[in-house]
Amino acid sequence: MKLQEMMERIGIKETGLAKAWAKDAIHLIRSQSSELIKVDKQNIIDGEQEYILPADLIQIKSISVKDTSDKKYKKIRRMTFPSVIREDTDPE
């Protein structure tokens, strides 16, 4: 829908006001919703501590592990050890 059509439906004649309202609405919608949420599942390997994450990852919302006894996913609340931050020295 074009701005002109919105103005006609609402009954507003001031283009600047209608444009400001449209920008505010878009900003509000973007701030309240997450864009492009993906789910990635990986198998846990005994003795493995590092796993490859998707290249387009921006933020991790939560991590869950499937409990085999009751077949439900359990969220991991926080890491029990301090995180290790390493510099990536690989040129590729």
Q: What is the pLDDT of residues 6-62, one digit of tens each?
A: 899 989 899 999 999 999 988 888 777 766 777 888 888 888 888 888 887 777 778
- Predicted pLDDT of residue 61: 78
- Predicted pLDDT of residue 37: 78
In contact, 23 and 39? CB cutoff 8 Å: no
In contact, 7 and 21? CB cutoff 8 Å: no
Question: What are the sequence ranges of the domains in the chain?
Answer: 3-32
pTM: 0.40
| Closest by CA position to 79, among listed 63, 59, 57 | 63
Number of H helices, E strands in the chain: 2, 2
In contact, 40 and 54? CB cutoff 8 Å: yes
